[in-house]
Amino acid sequence: MRLRRSSARASAPGKVVLFGEHFVIYDNPAILAAIDRRVNVTVHVNTSGSINITSDLGLIASFEGSTFHLLKGTTETKTILAPLCECARLVLSERGCNLGLDIELVSNLPESVGLGSSAACCVAITAAVDSLFHEPDRYWVCSKAAESERLIHKDSSGADCNISAFGGMMYFVKSKGFTNIYSKKELSLGLINTGKKHSTANLVSSVKKFKDINRFSFKVLASLSNAICQKAFAAIKEGDEQMLGNLMSQNHVLLQEIGVSDKTIDELVDLCLTNGACGAKLTGAGGGGSVVVLVPHNEDGSKIFFDGIGKNGWGSESIPVKVDYNGVLVA
């Protein structure tokens, strides 16, 4: 395919998993929301033939065929950037074009804390590179980004790439795709970042071990997660925040059972509830990461909550978030 331009920009949102993480990998439903925090990607065609990636995490590397050159960063730079290089190469190969690219990543999404930064990077890079050739199709971007995300964690359900590509709120099942959910009432969501980074791949494999050892319990927990998702779908549509909060807390107990919560997260969930939240739970893979909280949708509810969290020392780590309805954007 012929190039239609020599540079492009795209951005893609992060996400929160409101219900069903981990169980979604085994084809149970999950409910996700895209959030108003994004990864921004700029791509320029270069004449060197190599793929050069700069990230505002302080990482710079160049990939020349199978040779990796570390220009700035740590020993982890290759692990972080190589899948993103493959993501760009996948699009180039699909478009039958072997090009050198300079890729710059700027993110306002903290990484490795359950907010979907890997998926957002894959979605934004796929869209930016594809838009060098033509107007990208969201479904295509989503499926290619999900292929690339599997290089980062091989058992990915694909939920994160779907929500990042399409935005909004969705009910997602791996084998069936997604259904959009629209709420009668705006949901006031917040995030608290524990600051403890995790590896999604390690957590997913620890849950697999749990599942293999505790087959019957896992089946029961998965069916409870499934039932919570069905009720949550209805509660979001109705804008019933008390019901929704309650279901979030129930979902958190299931995540404790499969071993992905920890003391800090459990204490934070309790702190949220004692400060007026309707509900709170870990979000994403767990093992640290972030807590998602639903607060009453009125000024008082939100103020009481964030003031209380601030007094307990978590002020700088807690932020209100809005649902992003744009999904991936190409400029």
Q: List CB contacts of 127: < 8 A, sequence separation 6 or more.
A: 10, 12, 41, 136, 141, 328, 330
Q: Which residue, 49 or 177, is less far from ligand MEV as judged by CB?
A: 177
Amino acid at 260: V
Burial class (CB in 10 A: 0-12, 13-18, 19+), 212: exposed
Q: Which residue, 212 or 299, is less far from ligand MEV as judged by CB?
A: 212
CB of 30 to ligand MEV, least distance (A): 7
- Residue among 160, 240, 262, 324 flagged as catalytic: 160
CB of 160 to ligand MEV, least distance (A): 5
Output the 3-class SS for 277-295.
CCEEEEECCCCCCEEEEEE
d(C-alpha 52, C-alpha 102), whole Å? 5
Instruction: Respond yes or no: is residue 160 known to be catalytic.
Output: yes
CB of 158 to ligand MEV, least distance (A): 7
The Cβ of residue 6 has, within 10 Å, a number of other Cβ atoms equal to 11
Q: Which residue, 141, 182, 171, 174, is CA-closest to 157? A: 174
CB of 277 to ligand MEV, least distance (A): 21
CB of 67 to ligand MEV, least distance (A): 31
Contacts with ligand MEV by CB under 6 A lie at 17, 21-22, 24-25, 116, 156-157, 159-160, 200, 204, 284-285
Q: Which residue, 17 or 145, is less far from ligand MEV as judged by CB?
A: 17
Q: Which residue, 187, 261, 325, 232, is CA-closest to 28? A: 232
Q: Which residue, 202 or 242, is less far from ligand MEV as judged by CB?
A: 202
Residue 170, H or E segment: strand 169-173
Q: Which residue, 51 or 258, is less far from ligand MEV as judged by CB?
A: 258
Q: Which residue, 24 or 248, is less far from ligand MEV as judged by CB?
A: 24
Within the chain, where are the H helices? Answer: 77-94, 117-130, 138-152, 159-166, 200-213, 215-238, 241-257, 263-274, 299-309
- Nearest position to ligand MEV, beta carbon: 157
What the block records as the tokens of 215 is 């087959």
CA angle 85, 206, 119 (to 5 degrees): 30
CB of 39 to ligand MEV, least distance (A): 15
Backbone dihedral region for residue 73 (phi beyond 0: left; psi -120 to 50: alpha; all else: beta)? left
Q: Which residues are catalytic?
A: 160
